């Protein structure tokens, strides 16, 4: 007898003889073996799905778990990234960047994450500042892998959001550091002139107030080339690794103007965080030294951030070849002699101005570097 599925509640029971009995109202119908097989298959599929979901939440390879996070930072959260620790302002920017990254329903953000947000209610954001093209993304990736904590940024970089950086545009203490290339950062405890135009204050509302900073410095010759490559490929999916053509450099007038402008921006970035930081804690990291002594420089950053970490995990991360956002070296000359001399002058000016800051002694090495 056929079963009417639209009537009252149906109860399914599987007896020891593997027959399925359907109790409906006061009548009992015995299903045939084909129906039994179908129901058993459905139950099996449901069991497999539940097991897979549990694996994603508690033991997936890309999901943060207690063995991946040092004691004191792993918390039970409502989701895999601990989004409940985001501030109201963070949620606005986080959701906006999410919509930009996955604009359609068919493009959905992965449920698992390689990092988590933390309770930042009692800490100011820490700047990870640099001139563009100085390895900021590389450093963020290293810090996330060692600590399991998300890093943030004042920008929404869609390519990074899709590549393991869920903290894009998160600017609070909920992230370990906040990526910024700003040359006019705001500092805690500093009074800002209220007579400035209202439109300026509306902009300031979304600029984080830093209590300390890590300044990442790279040789300007390499950094300027990297930034020019990024801008030439800004609409590409591999904007962080793509190259410009040889004719975009050298005697190209646009490149010439770019070098003159960006060499000064590189210098201004250093002055902003070393001279004009209102005595806030500052750690200066040499990109070149980080390449050579990765473990020691990472320890300096982690100690500065006062975040617990696993020494064994640090060693594993150091041994990895983290080249996801590294451009391959191009074998052509980028700078003309005149451009090279100009950048050298800017480097010398910076050395003279920063003579009293021992953390910046390494800049003198840039005068003897091989110009790309």
Instruction: Give 237-288 pLDDT, tens digit per residue.
Output: 566 666 778 898 999 999 999 999 999 999 999 999 999 888 999 999 999 9
Backbone angles phi, psi at 183, to 5 degrees: -100, 5
* Res. 127: pLDDT tops 50: yes
**184 and 313 share a domain?**
yes
Report d(CA 286, CA 123) in Å as an integer: 26
**334 and 287 share a domain?**
yes
* Res. 124: pLDDT tops 70: yes
Res 159: pLDDT: 85
Lowest mean pLDDT among 9-18, 40-49, 196-205: 9-18
Report d(CA 142, CA 132) in Å as an integer: 18
Res 76: pLDDT: 74
Give domain status of residue 69, yes or no.
no
Q: What mean pLDDT is reported for the chain?
A: 80
* Res. 47: pLDDT tops 70: no
* Nearest alpha carbon to residue 267 among 225, 228, 219: 219
Lowest mean pLDDT among 20-29, 42-51, 255-264: 20-29
Helices marked H in the chain: 33-58, 88-101, 136-147, 158-161, 198-204, 220-232, 253-274, 287-292, 294-305, 311-319, 337-353
Res 6: pLDDT: 43
Report d(CA 124, CA 311) in Å as an integer: 26
**41 and 121 share a domain?**
no
**54 and 90 share a domain?**
no
Res 25: pLDDT: 40
Does 21 or 78 have the greater pLDDT score? 78
* Res. 85: pLDDT tops 80: yes
* Res. 22: pLDDT tops 50: no
* Res. 70: pLDDT tops 80: no
226: tokens are: 């990297």
CA within 13 Å, CB half, 44: 6
Does 239 or 207 have the greater pLDDT score? 207
Is residue 72 classed exposed, middle or buried when 0-12, 13-18 and 19+ CB atoms within 10 A define those classes?
exposed
Q: Which domain holds residue 20?
A: 11-58
* Res. 16: pLDDT tops 60: no
- What Rg do the C-alpha atoms of the chain give, in angstroms? 27
Give domain status of residue 30, yes or no.
yes
CA 228 to chain centre: 21
**152 and 224 share a domain?**
yes
Give domain status of residue 277, yes or no.
yes
Count how many domains the chain has.
2
Helices marked H in 19-87: 33-58
Report d(CA 165, CA 144) in Å as an integer: 9
pLDDT band at 219 (very low <50, low <70, confident <90, very high): very high
**87 and 54 share a domain?**
no
Give domain status of residue 29, yes or no.
yes
Give domain status of residue 65, yes or no.
no
pLDDT band at 184 (very low <50, low <70, confident <90, very high): confident
Helix, strand or coil, per DSSP, at residue 11: strand
**254 and 320 share a domain?**
yes
Lowest mean pLDDT among 68-72, 99-103, 164-168, 332-336: 68-72
Res 9: pLDDT: 40
Does 364 or 5 have the greater pLDDT score? 364
Which CATH number do you get for residue 305?
A: 3.40.50.300
**206 and 311 share a domain?**
yes
**274 and 319 share a domain?**
yes
- Whole-number percent of the chain with pLDDT over 90: 51
Between helix 136-147 and helix 294-305 the angle, nearest 10°, is: 70
The model's pTM? 0.76
84-91 average pLDDT score: 93
* Res. 118: pLDDT tops 60: yes
Backbone angles phi, psi at 260, to 5 degrees: -60, -40
Res 225: pLDDT: 94
**52 and 162 share a domain?**
no
The helix/strand count (H/E) of the chain reads as 11, 10
pLDDT band at 35 (very low <50, low <70, confident <90, very high): low
């Amino acid at each position: 007898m056929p079963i009417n599925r639209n009537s009252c509640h149906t109860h399914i029971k599987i007896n020891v003889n593997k027959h399925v009995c359907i109790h409906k109202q006061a009548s009992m119908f015995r299903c045939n073996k084909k129906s039994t097989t179908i129901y058993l298959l459905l139950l099996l599929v449901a069991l497999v799905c539940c097991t897979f979901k549990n694996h994603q939440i508690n033991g997936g390879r890309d999901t943060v778990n207690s063995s991946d996070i040092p004691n004191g930072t792993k918390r039970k959260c409502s989701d895999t990234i601990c989004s409940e620790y985001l501030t109201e302002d963070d949620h606005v920017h986080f959701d906006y960047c999410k919509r930009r990254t996955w604009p359609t329903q068919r493009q959905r953000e992965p449920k698992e994450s390689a990092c988590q947000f933390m309770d930042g209610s009692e800490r100011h954001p820490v700047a990870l500042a640099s001139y563009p093209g100085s390895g900021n993304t590389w450093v963020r990736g290293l810090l996330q892998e060692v600590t399991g904590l998300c890093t943030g940024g004042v920008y929404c970089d869609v390519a990074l959001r899709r590549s393991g950086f869920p903290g894009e545009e998160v600017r609070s203490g909920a992230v370990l550091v906040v990526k910024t290339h700003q040359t006019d950062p705001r500092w805690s405890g500093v009074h800002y002139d209220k007579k400035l135009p209202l439109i300026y204050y509306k902009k300031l509302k979304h600029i984080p107030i830093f209590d300390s900073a890590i300044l990442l410095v790279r040789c300007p010759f390499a950094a300027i080339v990297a930034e020019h490559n990024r801008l030439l490929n800004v609409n590409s999916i591999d904007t962080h690794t793509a190259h410009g053509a040889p004719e975009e450099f050298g005697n190209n007038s646009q490149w010439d103007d770019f070098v003159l402008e960006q060499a000064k921006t590189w210098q201004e970035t250093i002055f902003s965080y070393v001279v004009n930081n209102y005595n806030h804690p500052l750690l200066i990291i040499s990109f070149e030294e980080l390449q050579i002594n990765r473990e020691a420089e990472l320890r300096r950053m982690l100690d500065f951030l006062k975040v617990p970490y696993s020494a064994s995990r640090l060693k594993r991360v150091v041994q990895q070849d983290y080249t996801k956002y590294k451009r391959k070296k191009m074998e052509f000359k980028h700078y003309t002699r005149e451009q090279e001399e100009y950048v050298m002058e800017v480097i010398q000016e910076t050395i003279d101005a920063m003579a009293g800051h021992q953390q910046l002694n390494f800049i003198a090495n840039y005068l003897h570097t091989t110009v790309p």
